Amino acid sequence: MSGTRGPIRTPGLTWRWSDALRGAVTAAPASVAALSDVQLGAGLAIGLLPVCPLPLPPSRVARVKLALYGVLAAVSILVGGVLAQWPAVAVTAMLLAGGAMGHLVAHLRRPIAMLGLLLCLPLLAVGFSYPGPETTAGLAVDILLGTAWAVLVAVCWPGGRTPAAPPVAEARRTPATMVPYGWIAGLVGAVCAAIGFAADLEHVGWAPAAALLVMRPNPPTQRMRSLDRLADVVLGAVAASLLVAIDPPGWVYAGAIGLVVVAATATSGSRWYVLPTFTTFFVFVLLLARDPADAPHRFWERSLETGLGVAVAALGAFLVLPAVLRRRRRDAAEPPPGTSTRPPSPRGGSAADPRRAD
């Protein structure tokens, strides 16, 4: 048979043993730290996640550039924490940042620019959960340390593969789409943040971060990520709650943290959006390690706020964005004001042509 096969799709869930081994090496410091301080180990593991699940490029120069993800993540969270001290300023900044990043993506026309919308904007929202730079500084330092170690391991790692579909590849969009998309993403994040501040939620950033992490310019991609994130959050929260409930010794925590980092790295090529399972696991270990009885409250808090974010993102992407795009297309098709739509006179010239006056 020749030429009759459709495109080969990436499996929903993939596992690469070479990446798993790299994940084990990358996770070593966090696992060792967990032997004496579980929360420190979980925090260091969270710091690894901006980089270690990324596909490993074949070029070592390209591997060094992976540090950009971690630096942007740390700076975004730190800025979000500063803005969270003034809720009105934080909500306004979220809206304006989304619009500005949409313009940036549209006019640069480079996939890397999409990191502003896919990474910086949601992690700016994460910072809203930790008002004040002194609160976010610890998390930002964890991310920078984790990034430095993950990049060092990646640079020293043999071999590598060319990423089949980098996270920013879908940024190749037209200005007519990306400018309104950026503004609507900012609006979605601002609405979720405003609800969180108004309701005095403990983790204001959970809902807007969930919304912005599932939002995509491509509707099928957003549907898949929305469903995956809801399932992932439940799975990660339950796994972490069960772990802390049995009150295991430090070596069990160390092993669990190492295994989860391994899984996050080994499944990086999956079509399914599985990363929230691992981030939620570490967040719950961090929150519950010294207070296991708080697990039910944290479970419902995380689940409901994730559901809120996913729902608001769906309204923005599936209702508001198509309406805005239809309006822009309709306006573009209409003639400018003052332009006559009357067909020309058969004899040439118009009825108002002074040359035809008697």
* Every domain of the chain and the residues it spans: 17-332
pLDDT at 344: 55
Rounded Cα–Cα distance for residues 62 and 114 (Å): 18
Region of residue 7 (left: phi > 0; alpha: psi -120 to 50; beta: else): beta
Q: How confident is the model at residue 335 (pLDDT cuts 50, 70, 90)?
A: low
Q: Mean of the pLDDT values across residues 221-230?
A: 94
Q: How confident is the model at residue 6 (pLDDT cuts 50, 70, 90)?
A: very low
pLDDT at 38: 94
* pLDDT score of 86 more than 60: yes
Helix (H, G, I), strand (E, B) or coil at 9: coil
Name the least confident of 76-80, 155-159, 237-241: 155-159
221: CB partners within 8 A, 6+ apart: 170
Helix (H, G, I), strand (E, B) or coil at 274: coil
Q: How confident is the model at residue 7 (pLDDT cuts 50, 70, 90)?
A: very low
Q: Average pLDDT of the chain?
A: 87
Q: Mean of the pLDDT values across residues 206-219?
A: 94
Q: How confident is the model at residue 173 (pLDDT cuts 50, 70, 90)?
A: low
Q: Mean of the pLDDT values across residues 34-44?
A: 94
Q: Mean of the pLDDT values across residues 248-260?
A: 95
pLDDT at 206: 96
pLDDT at 290: 87
pLDDT at 343: 55
Question: Per-residue b/e over 206-226, b at no fewer than 16 CB within 10 Å?
Answer: bbbbbbbbbbbbeeeebebbb
* pLDDT score of 287 more than 60: yes
* pLDDT score of 119 more than 90: yes
Q: How confident is the model at residue 117 (pLDDT cuts 50, 70, 90)?
A: very high
Q: Mean of the pLDDT values across residues 278-303?
A: 93
320: CB partners within 8 A, 6+ apart: 184, 187
pLDDT at 310: 97
Question: Structure pTM?
Answer: 0.85
User: In the chain, what percentage of residues exceed pLDDT 70?
Assistant: 86
Of 176, 243, 272, 313, the closest CA to residue 38 belongs to 243
Name the least confident of 27-31, 338-342, 349-353: 349-353
pLDDT at 356: 40
